[in-house]
Structure 1
Amino acid sequence: MMVERKIKIVTEQHNIDKPAAMEGFPMKEWTIEIYILDQDGKECPARCFTKAQYNLHPSFDNPVQVFHQPPFKCTNEGWGEFEMTIDVFTTEKGGKHSINHDLNFLKPQYENIHVIQFKNPSQALQQILRETGPLPWDEERKLKKGDGAKKKKLTFDIEKMATAICKLGEEDLLKVVQIIHDGKDEGTYVLNNMDAGEFSVDLYTLPDPVSKAIWDIMVKAGLVS
């Protein structure tokens, strides 16, 4: 599953009253901040990231600078323009995204928009991403919750399934995992972290036949009715 969001990099710069380190080039103070845009293009705190790492020109005393709170504000002084990479991280395994950024002094302020893809976001990250717009599978979730205009008549109850699934015995739980694995479609959110021994699924994104098969296992186990 893939979720796309637009990230805005905002750069501000101005001259400062300090001796020039290079003749003909005034000293500057510059600041970079990172925002995520919602579906209306409004700037929002980029809480989807846990940290941002700025990889500056190697001539800086501290060329690698890390910030952990939005807007991940990075402020420095210097006289030269250069290209840097900004690495932003999520809590997901492999959740590193690198952004190329051109630091220049053509304007007092300028903005750059980048599209970032979040692959198989966790439930926690999904909730954060929903702050800036719906996810691709949210419409199906609404229908199964009964929030859609055309409520489906279902023979299972997702809320009861979510409560009962953690009460299944090991054998039945393995059956459920296999049913999900065999029956999922492109709209199903599944996160399988084998290294950590974790398996999670958004039950609202399962195809109806898969949900019904899981429901039948729970009925047989006496957990739902």
Structure 2
Amino acid sequence: MIVERKIKVVTEQHNIDKPAVNEGFPMKEWTVEIYILDQDGKEKPARCFTKAVYHLHPSFANPTQTFMEPPFRCTNEGWGEFEMIIDLFTTEKGGKQTILHDLNFQAPQYEVVHTVTFKNPSQALQAILRETGPLPSDEERKLKKGADGKKKKSWDVDKIADGLVKLGEDDLLHVIQLVHDHKDDNTYIQNNVEQGEFSVDLYTLPDPLLKMLWDFLIKQGVISA
């Protein structure tokens, strides 16, 4: 699953009453903040990120600065314009978005919008991303629930979810093999071998695979038709 969101980088700057380091270049205080935009273009706290790391010009005493809470406000003083790198981290393994931000003093306040991509977000991150708009799988999720007047399938995804937690280890291994053998490109899976964890979004499974799981759970006696 690929999820796109737009983030807004907001910069404010003003002169401060401190001696100029370089003649003709007044000292400035500047602040950068990061927001996520919802489907209506409104600013929301970027809770999809757990931290933001700003890589400033190497002339700063502390050029690498980390912030853990939205809006990840980074405030500094200086006289020069430069391009900074901002790394935005999620809770996902290897989940990092990198953007370039041009710090300039052309206006007291300016905004830049970037598009970032989340690849196969976890269930927890999906829930956060839904706060700012639907996910690609949501329409398919509605159809599988029989929404919009569509005919319901012969299986119930919620019942499948309830039945899976009742299975023994051998049956669960059989289910995992079924998923691996019959999934498609839209199937969302996370397999953490090191921690022995396997998770799948049932609403992203193709219909034939859901029917297989439904029939298997009925055969095992953990759900009823």
Same fold (TM over 0.5): yes
Give structure 1 stretches of 5+ with no counterpart.
Answer: none
Match of 1:47 in 2: 47
SS of 1:162's equivalent? helix
Residue 85 of structure 1 pairs with residue 56 of structure 2: no
Match of 1:94 in 2: 94
Q: CA deviation at 1:195?
A: 3.1
Q: Give the TM-score taking structure 1 as reference length.
A: 0.96
SS of 1:224's equivalent? coil
Q: Give the TM-score taking structure 2 as reference length.
A: 0.96
> Identity rate of aligned residues, in percent?
71
Checking the alignment, whether the CA contact within 8 Å between 1:50 and 1:89 is kept in structure 2 is yes
Match of 2:148 in 1: 149
SS of 1:26's equivalent? coil
Cα offsets for 1:41-98 (capped at 9, x unmatched): 1111100000000011111111111101100000000001111100000000000111
Matches within 5 A, 1:123-202: 123-146=123-146, 148-202=147-201
For residues 196 and 112 of structure 1, the distance between their equivalents in structure 2, rounded to whole angstroms, comes to 40
Give structure 2 stretches of 5+ with no counterpart.
Answer: none
RMSD: 1.1
Residue 8 of structure 1 pairs with residue 8 of structure 2: yes
For residues 83 and 126 of structure 1, the distance between their equivalents in structure 2, rounded to whole angstroms, comes to 31
Residue 111 of structure 1 pairs with residue 103 of structure 2: no
Cα offsets for 1:157-209 (capped at 9, x unmatched): 11111112122112211111111112112222212222332211111121111
SS of 1:105's equivalent? coil
Q: CA deviation at 1:14?
A: 0.5
Match of 1:59 in 2: 59
